[in-house]
Structure 1
Amino acid sequence: MAKSHSSQIPSNGLCHVPQQNPITGDVSFGNLVQDKVSVENGFGQPLLTVDGFLFSCSKEVLVKGLVNGVKGVLGFGRSNLAFQSQMVNSFGFERKFLVCLSSKSNGFISSGVGMISNSLSLPSPLSLSYTPLEKSQKTHDVVDGYYVNVNSIKVNGRRLAVDQPIGAVEISSTAPYTVLKSTVYETLKKAFSKSMTMVAPVGPFGICFRSRVDVPVIELVMQSEMVKWRIHGRNLVVDVGDGVMCLGIVDGGLGMNGTMILGGYQLEDHVLEFNLGTSMMGFSSSLLMEGNSCSNIRETVSKSIQSL
């Protein structure tokens, strides 16, 4: 992304907008400014330029906890200032964007398009399951994120007996691993202890075992038994060394706001389609289980477009 000299919009006190650090949760207020922004498409398509792109400049609090060298955050939330919202307004794109996070750091985000495999020939045609997007359950959430309703959690086909509904689950690329409220986490831990012999936990994980055991599949049951998000294989366990594997899910404590956050490790190498026009989220099964990956899709699509 390249930008020219920005110019501050004349402010009378109403052009200060709140921003929330996605890692620390700290909130700061910045000045609303505009600039000419050009977006280079990673798939070899023409450069897109927005002449009056709006964004805010705030204090250092916005980048605390982020990777060294990061100067800001490109938001894909539901606000009118979010990147995809401004792209929709500028180019008439569909109100949707597609995310494919890669464990190799070469995944992609594509704004205004649907399933890539519908228009291009990929090695394994992809299909998505769809579930409704829900509203944030957080009372003081500055940035309205993306939530889906989970009716129940199953381990090896057996439903966890929890004392409260799972409810609205946040889809988060900033949480490294899926987080469960302590009451639900302890129930999950008991279910795993019945099917395998656990070893001493290795932080931040609380459920660890020898790598030679068969790990149960975890299923998130959405609006019906027909719509399930299955977590297994690479998206379920983390190799911590010395022949020990840990479940890539952590305890969020009793004071956690909400019951569950679906974290980045579980999102990797899944195709996610956020359709704001229909308020639906589509998700694929694990690409890795099909011999595919987000990095492979990016490379295949790029080559296909360049050959047109």
Structure 2
Amino acid sequence: MLVLCPSNPTLHGIVQVGPVCQDALSMQSTNGSYLTLPHYIFPCATNYMIPGLPDGVTGVVGLGRSRISLPSQLSSALGLDKRFTICLPSSSKAKGFIVFGSNGIDISSLPLTYTPLLSNPVSTVIAPRGEPSYEYFIGVKSVTINSKVVPFNTSMLVIDRKSGYGGTKISTGYPYSTLKTEIYKAFIETFIREAEAMKLKKVAAVEPFAACFSVLVARTKFRPMVPTIDLVLESGGVWRMFGGNSMVEVGKGVMCLGFVEEEIREFKEEEERTSIVIGGHQLEDIVLRFDLALSTMAFSAAQSTCSKYFNFTSKA
């Protein structure tokens, strides 16, 4: 019997060995018709792997670069282009979207930044020895806050080809961006210094966050007005984060910087190897297009809502 190792991305470092299953998968296309993937391959796991998922959710779908990820299976079975476009909503009341293939969504009006997807020859999760990582890594060469360089050893941003440590990846399995301790401490210190220069009032920290402030405005695309964070890309350009993507509202009038420090694990095999993980909160209301065939990723600036670029009622 064939087996795979299913995992819940919210339970970092925990996997199970599960049987490989096959079933038909039906998905609605953007023209209103339905496409069927007749032999969809997926692993099964026990209820032990469910904790941490939202209420009512009983599984996760793999969108990585492996041959059995959903984008890869849709491409090989149905001939769709090996790419997908995704936008995560910033509110549970709003709608996000994911579109597989090249058709069905026009984002040509968006100013997009393109950057190569990098390979990591060593898996960053528990996997058979010699297995590469199927996650999405991008090249970041430095981090600035209000144009001030965050001081840390930037060699941590380079992927070690032997150990798989280092680099920057994108993962919705992390609710907030996660930084290695050395980077995190310098990042927090720089942000607090710049925030205080902007006359923001620092208040008591609220776990798991380290930098919280008294802010009396609603969170929007650009607000609150806080220091601007830039990930400076190796390919040129920056990934700019305003207050809407950097801050988390934790109470009335209190917002915290939504970046967290890496968790210290009992076993080295369970620790996060990547120096910077760009998590879900920082991806909200941003249109991302992953092109697996060309190994590139494109991203927009933060939008007011995901639905601005996708008509959820259209049959065309």
1:280 and 1:61 mapped to 2: Cα distance?
35
- CA deviations on 1:157-184 (whole Å, 9 max, x unpaired) are 1211112433321201121111111211
Change (3 A) 1:193 1:65: closer
Equivalent of residue 278 in structure 1, options 291, 294, 298: 294
Is the counterpart of residue 198 in structure 1 residue 209 in structure 2?
no
- Determine if the alignment matches structure 1 residue 184 to structure 2 residue 183: yes
Corresponding residue number in structure 2 for 1:111: 100
Task: Determine if contact 2:83/2:293 at 8 Å carries over to the other structure.
Answer: yes
Which residue of structure 2 lines up, in the alignment, with residue 129 of structure 1? 113
| 1:74 corresponds to 2:61 | yes
Aligned equivalents of 2:212 and 2:107: distance in 1? 40
Deviations 1:190-240 (A, max 9, x none): 21232314221111110111215841100001114x321000021111122
Secondary structure, aligned partner of 2:17: strand
Distance 1:271 1:174, change over 3 A: same
8 Å contact 1:30–1:57 — kept in the other structure? yes
CA displacement at 1:114 relative to structure 2? 6.3
Q: Give the partner amino acid of 2:284.
A: E
Shift of 1:147: 1.2
Pairing of 1:37-186 with structure 2 (within 5 A): 37-41=25-29, 43-105=30-92, 106-113=95-102, 116-117=105-106, 125-136=109-120, 138=123, 140-142=125-127, 144-165=134-155, 166-167=157-158, 168-186=167-185
Instruction: Quote the residue 2:248 is aligned against.
Output: 238
Post-superposition offset of 1:60: 2.4
* Deviation (angstroms), 1:269: 0.5
Alignment partner of 2:89: what SS?
coil
The verdict on how the C-alpha distance between 1:66 and 1:139 changes in structure 2, with shifts beyond 3 A counting, is closer
Alpha-carbon shift at residue 273 of structure 1 (Å): 0.7
Distance, in Å, in 2 between the alignment partners of 1:251 and 1:283 is: 25
Sequence identity, in percent?
A: 35
1:302 CA drift (Å): 4.3
Structure 2 unaligned spans of 5+: 128-132, 159-166, 217-223, 265-270
* Contact 2:99/2:105 (<8 A) preserved: no
After superposition, give the CA deviation of every residue in 1:34-55 in whole Å (9 maximum; x if it has no partner): 22221123x4431001222222
Q: 28-37 vs 131-140, which deviates more?
A: 131-140
After superposition, the C-alpha distances for 1:114-158 in whole angstroms (9 at most, x for unaligned) are: 693257xxxxx2121111112245455446211112100000012
Q: Is the 8 A contact 1:32 1:54 kept in 2?
A: yes
Q: Within 1, Cα distance between the matches of 2:78 and 2:280?
A: 30
TM-score of the superposition, structure 2-length normalised?
Answer: 0.81
Output the amino acid matched with 1:35.
D
State the distance in 2 between where 1:287 and 1:183 align: 32
TM-score, length-scaled by structure 1: 0.83
Amino acid paired to 1:206: A
Q: Is the 8 A contact 1:79 1:85 kept in 2?
A: yes
- The CA distance in 2 between the partners of 1:118 and 1:54, in whole Å, is 31
Match of 2:307 among 295, 301, 308: 295
Count of aligned pairs: 280
Gapped regions of structure 1 (runs ≥ 5): 1-10, 120-124
| Cα 1:253/1:75, change in 2 over 3 Å | closer
Runs of 4+ displaced beyond 4 Å: 137-141, 253-256
1:211 corresponds to which letter in structure 2? V
The CA RMSD measured in Å over matched residues stands at: 2.2
Distance 2:234 2:104 in 1: 22
| 1:28-75 residue CA offsets vs partner (Å, 9 max, x unmatched) | 12222222221123x443100122222222222332321233222211
* C-alpha distance in structure 2 between counterparts of 1:23 and 1:71, whole Å: 13
Q: Secondary structure at the match of 2:16?
A: strand
Query: Secondary structure, in 3 states, of the residue corresponding to 2:77?
Result: helix
Instruction: Report the residue type matching 1:133 in the other structure.
Output: L
> Which residue of 2 is the match for residue 28 of structure 1?
16
**Matched residues in 2 for 1:82 and 1:44: separation?**
24
Structure 1 counterpart of 2:306, one-letter code: C
Residue 6 of structure 2 contacts residue 44 of structure 2 at CA under 8 Å; is this kept in 1? Answer: no
Larger mean CA deviation between 68-77 and 55-64 belongs to: 55-64
Aligned partner of 2:230 in structure 1 is 219
Whether the 8 Å CA contact 2:113–2:237 is kept in 1: the answer is: yes
Instruction: Letter of the 1:31 partner, please give it.
Output: P
